[in-house]
Structure 1
Amino acid sequence: MSASFFHDQFVDSIDQCRQLYVDKVVECFVASPSRLGMEADEFFAVVQDRFNCLVIKAFVETAESDLVLTPAEADLAKVLVEHLLDRQVKPRHVKENFRELATLAKQTSWGAAVEPMKWFEETAAYFEEVKSALLRIATIASRVDGSVRGETTAQLKMIRMQLDQHLPVVRSHSAESKPVNDASESTDVSDHSAATNSYQISQALIKVLSEQRESKRAAPMDASALESNETSPVQESATVIAQSNASDTDAETVADLTPQQRDELLRLGMAELENLIGIDAIRREVQTLINVCKLQQFRKEHSMPVSTVSLHMVFTGNPGTGKTTVARIVAKLFGAIGVIRRGHLIETDRSGLVAEFQGQTGPKTNAKIDEAIDGVLFVDEAYSLAPENQSDSYGLEAIQTLLKRMEDDRDRLIVILAGYPKPMETLMKSNPGLSSRFSRRCHFPDYDETELAGIFDVLAQKHHYHMTDDFRSTFLKQIRTAVATKDEHFGNGRMVRNLYECAIRNMANRVVESAELTPELLSTFQAEDLSEWIEGESV
């Protein structure tokens, strides 16, 4: 097996891990920048530092498990450092500083390294994929020199156990985007030892480059910059959105996009919508809404009368039919055309609006709405605010507060209510104020067998996985059985993601035991990778 193969696979795995770790955490922060109490620059620096630490730790603890760093492993270390820095460095500068990197990485716990993934509930959906990418990094490191010792195999299993402990399988997720730790627990986003170690790792990476320079030594830089004078697009996005909370004046200054940027954002959002499976009617409805909004904007620009268009919506459908995904895209699209200034989505449910004690629900609901101002508020399982045949003054107070704010902030707030079809219909009939303000309804039907298989194909292709014929046959059989026995709680796309994550998890365990690493081994699902999947337990 050529060294270039290992290097390419190694880099691909790092990139996949970064997309699932850094990008997803930053997306949650951008949607609600005030939630963690951190400035955007500080937040991005911490997340980037922890990611660097995590990847280096996965490599070091595997490569050094047999107490010997071979030449092939040293070459891979150079690839790792160069990829984290996004530029080439001389071997001697890597060699001179890698020991410091290794020491700091080993001193940082696995829990601290993956901690940012646990700050927001939404990122729990990506735990298995992050673990899979990290195990691929470790597995490549274990096999790059062509031999695997018993100590290394044991270490791979230990890494898997550590990752499972700190990023456990999540059976169900709340719709609300919030830190996993609730108010009764301390969300320690600035653990001193972990922050110090990960910061020092970034400083050590910078040191590799600063020593390489043949010209005069550059002025000291913040570690979060990773020796780059250019701001990362993700960091820039996080900074702009976070700053937009400072004041209305500042928001209008820093959050404005050029017409070209808006066109590009609109194009990307429509492409996301187009790529979703099984929602043709929803896609047409969203496109119509966009066209109506653009028409009103054109008329306004030409001093013509404009009509008030209600953009509040009700999404009905069973779990996993794409309601939340479409809501996020809709927020992005409305932001792109300037209907709302920020274009972010705040997800919540009853627990995010209703308080436990009298007099607290109004302020709690208002606080959640404040987070969504200039964006979209998505209320999942909205029918729980007015349970059928039950007297619920707190839920009613939340509804009345929401309706009042929808009127007071009608130019700055879009609300989407979501839930099962029948309970949502009951909710709409129970309150004239709701039915009059939410006249636009979008139903998300269950996926059929072909669509569910297509969703799995999209997930697999996105991360460069392939299937054997036996795997596909077993997979389709599982899907047919699930569809034939489904009820209103059928998981739909969520069930497919659970199945996909199970296959990744089992593949990782299988690869750890393999004697030889090949491209096929790293990217091919076997039928046995579905052996432990039980739909009823996974959903």
Structure 2
Amino acid sequence: MTGPGFPSRPSLFSRTLRECRQLYVQAGELIASKHSTLVTSPRSYPQLMDDLHRGLVLKLYLTICEADQSWSSQERLLAEVLCHHLWGTWIEGDQLRDTMKRASTETATLEWAALVRPFRTLAPLADKAPVLETLVTRLANLVARCDGDLCDAERKALGEIEGRIRGIFPLGGGLSAEDRAADDWAEQPADQAAEASIYRNLPPRRTGDRRQSETIERPAGPQPVEQSTDEQPTVEEALEELDRLIGLTSIKHEVRSLANFLKLQQRRSEAGLPETEISLHMVFTGNPGTGKTTVARIVGKIFGALGVLEKGHLVETDRSGLVAEYAGQTGPKTNAKIDEALGGLLFIDEAYSLVARGSEDPYGREAAQTLLKRAEDDRGQMVIILAGYPDEMQDLLLSNPGLSSRFSRKMDFADYSPLELAQIFGLMCGKNHYELTPAARLKVMLGLQHLYSTRNRHFGNGRESRNLFEHAVRRMANRLADEASISQEQLVTLRDADIEFVSLPAAVFEDLDESRLQVSMACGSCELTKAIPLSFLGKKVKCPQCGESFVAEWGELSSVDQAAT
């Protein structure tokens, strides 16, 4: 589809629509195949997510287009692209107008929160929320700016959409694992409005004047997901996923050693030799945001692939998911949560809160005793991971000999270094198709270095990088809000003005003499570390030792004077 007045980058609109559908459908397939207990109809869940995506993109388009009560030729062309994306056919003229009117009536009943709720309430989808927010912002801007004129009404509509999405996904916010599971959107009848027939049925075809594109077959929707062990990743695939994580060197070594031990036991068993029984229950200690839940999920995949556990799924909970409010209810509640984890892993965050120190807590102690008994009785059917701050977890283990004997395997998650935090930020940018100016890279590294040097036990680690990224995307949206026309480069480029460290004083970045700073880069091939000027940030450089070329993305900042000494 090309023509006069059509946006210079129409492929970006079409590609963003495809990315939105892919995000929703893959999220639905993940829930259906790996976390089926979280929803009532796992087989149809991918289709339901596809319907939500249809409702979302239609509501986005119509909210912007109806803001100024006019429909420009450029907006009509985008509507053709949108209809082809949704129904696999090109329509125009009166048929296009009628279809959009029908869609407008349907989307008027939909709430933004209902269209994105799975990414807020289902724990396995929580890390995809920033991707969704980025796609929403990009789609809304592409529609609003396609004709080059951003009127006050469109600017207001953009702000309202971004404000609603921000309210649904607050920075650094989130529900507990238990709250997410309890707020299962699929069981809310009001949300089923997203399944309205307008989203699935093809618009009526015109008679006569058939364009060749009208013969395009409608893309097949997501197929029902079969819950099969065939989709279980192999041990090697799970370990590769572990290796792709940033940092966590000692943790990777421990997990790989455990996997090697279990593989050896399998071979001994196949050879008719006795196996060495060990407890697989674990304790994960570390500050928030150090990757404990992510590693637990990978460990589950490894155990599932090895056949140590039947499924290897991960059930997350905390004190609220185990301890009841009234006498006689804690035992059944704890047992029910453990039953949910059979065949997989039970991950208990802030496990030390089960037994309040220095106070009588009969309910918490009942939960702990039930947990101990089931940890022993069902040790061949599940693995329990207790997680929390290092000091508190140590006190918990010392307070109960039964816990320390059954949970003897301990993994300590260290805080991420400033370089690793910057790499996490860069990874989020790459996943969401954002690029950074050299000045923005410098500001990210400098700010994260200050955050790290002044951190306390409540330091957010990876969450700091995630919050910084989400905040930068929102500041970028505000910066571009008053621009009448924006290019594709502007849509994907984060500048230094978009990077803001709310908790740091402005003096950290003021009077910065960039000529006195340099950044140390390590070659990924020969591991040579060399200091380079800041002007090389984001550019391709060549290692003087092995000749390997790579992009100078992130490094460790130092002063020229410091390096000289």
The alignment status of 1:282 with 2:280, answered yes or no, reads no
Contact 2:177 2:316 survives alignment (8 Å): yes
After TM superposition, the structure 1 = structure 2 runs for residues 226-305 of structure 1, keeping only pairs within 5 Å, are 231-232=222-223, 235-236=224-225, 239-240=226-227, 255-257=228-230, 262=232, 264-305=233-274
Q: Distance in 2 between matches of 1:399 and 1:450?
A: 39
Partner of 2:37: 34
Partner of 2:79: 77
CA positional deviation for 1:301? 2.8
After TM superposition, the structure 1 = structure 2 runs for residues 311-322 of structure 1, keeping only pairs within 5 Å, are 311-322=280-291
The alignment status of 1:327 with 2:325, answered yes or no, reads no
Q: Distance in 1 between matches of 2:19 and 2:503?
A: 27
Give the structure-1-normalised TM-score. 0.83
Choose the corresponding residue for 1:345, options 311, 314, 323: 314
Say which structure is richer in helix.
1
Q: Distance in 1 between matches of 2:25 and 2:503?
A: 31
Q: Distance in 1 between matches of 2:411 and 2:60?
A: 45
CA positional deviation for 1:366? 0.6
Amino acid at match of 1:256: T
CA positional deviation for 1:268? 3.5
SS of the residue aligned with 1:369?
Answer: helix
Amino acid at match of 1:479: L
The C-alpha deviation readout for 1:255-312, integer Å capped at 9, x for no partner, is: 332xxx55x5434322221111111111111112222222222232333322223221
CA positional deviation for 1:180? 6.9
Partner of 1:486: 455
CA positional deviation for 1:475? 1.8
After TM superposition, the structure 1 = structure 2 runs for residues 163-174 of structure 1, keeping only pairs within 5 Å, are 163-165=165-167, 167-173=168-174
Partner of 1:13: 16
The C-alpha deviation readout for 1:402-437, integer Å capped at 9, x for no partner, is: 122122222210111111111111111222221111
Q: Distance in 1 between matches of 2:151 and 2:422?
A: 39
Amino acid at match of 2:10: H
Q: Distance in 1 between matches of 2:378 and 2:485?
A: 61
Partner of 2:180: 179
Partner of 1:399: 368
Contact 1:49 1:201 survives alignment (8 Å): no
SS of the residue aligned with 2:195?
Answer: helix
Amino acid at match of 2:12: Q
Partner of 1:468: 437
Partner of 2:345: 376
SS of the residue aligned with 1:34?
Answer: helix
Alignment length (residue pairs): 497
Contact 2:178 2:318 survives alignment (8 Å): no
CA positional deviation for 1:206? 7.3
Amino acid at match of 2:51: D
Name whichever of 286-295 and 319-328 sits farther off: 286-295
Q: Distance in 1 between matches of 2:129 and 2:53?
A: 14
Amino acid at match of 1:444: F
Larger Rg: 2
Partner of 2:189: 191
The 1:162–1:388 alpha-carbon spacing in structure 2 relative to 1, beyond 3 Å, is: closer
CA positional deviation for 1:15? 4.2
After TM superposition, the structure 1 = structure 2 runs for residues 197-208 of structure 1, keeping only pairs within 5 Å, are 198-205=195-202
Q: Percent identity?
A: 38
Partner of 1:364: 333
Q: Distance in 2 between matches of 1:178 and 1:31?
A: 19
Contact 2:114 2:185 survives alignment (8 Å): no
Q: Which has the higher contact order (CA 8 A, sep 6+)?
A: 1
Contact 2:300 2:345 survives alignment (8 Å): yes
Amino acid at match of 1:120: L
Name whichever of 281-290 and 153-162 sits farther off: 153-162
The C-alpha deviation readout for 1:95-132, integer Å capped at 9, x for no partner, is: 66343233322342323323333433564555454233
CA positional deviation for 1:398? 1.2
Amino acid at match of 1:136: R
The 1:213–1:471 alpha-carbon spacing in structure 2 relative to 1, beyond 3 Å, is: closer
Partner of 1:110: 112
The alignment status of 1:442 with 2:411, answered yes or no, reads yes
The C-alpha deviation readout for 1:19-64, integer Å capped at 9, x for no partner, is: 555544664565543344x221344333321221011110122133
Partner of 1:99: 101
Contact 1:97 1:208 survives alignment (8 Å): no
The 1:131–1:174 alpha-carbon spacing in structure 2 relative to 1, beyond 3 Å, is: closer
Amino acid at match of 2:316: E
Contact 1:125 1:170 survives alignment (8 Å): no
CA positional deviation for 1:341? 1.7
CA positional deviation for 1:368? 0.6
CA positional deviation for 1:143? 1.9
Amino acid at match of 2:37: S
Partner of 1:119: 121
Choose the corresponding residue for 1:497, options 456, 466, 480: 466
Q: Distance in 1 between matches of 2:72 and 2:47?
A: 32
SS of the residue aligned with 2:275?
Answer: coil
CA positional deviation for 1:331? 1.1
SS of the residue aligned with 2:147?
Answer: coil
Contact 1:344 1:375 survives alignment (8 Å): yes
Amino acid at match of 1:431: N
The unaligned stretches of length 5 or more in structure 1 are 218-225, 241-254
SS of the residue aligned with 2:415?
Answer: coil
Q: Distance in 2 between matches of 1:298 and 1:213?
A: 63
The 1:360–1:3 alpha-carbon spacing in structure 2 relative to 1, beyond 3 Å, is: same
The C-alpha deviation readout for 1:474-524, integer Å capped at 9, x for no partner, is: 222211221111111111111111111100111122222222221221111
Q: Distance in 2 between matches of 1:491 and 1:373?
A: 31
Q: Distance in 1 between matches of 2:272 and 2:89?
A: 57
CA positional deviation for 1:349? 0.8
SS of the residue aligned with 2:481?
Answer: helix
Q: Distance in 2 between matches of 1:330 and 1:208?
A: 52
Choose the corresponding residue for 2:161, options 147, 159, 162: 159
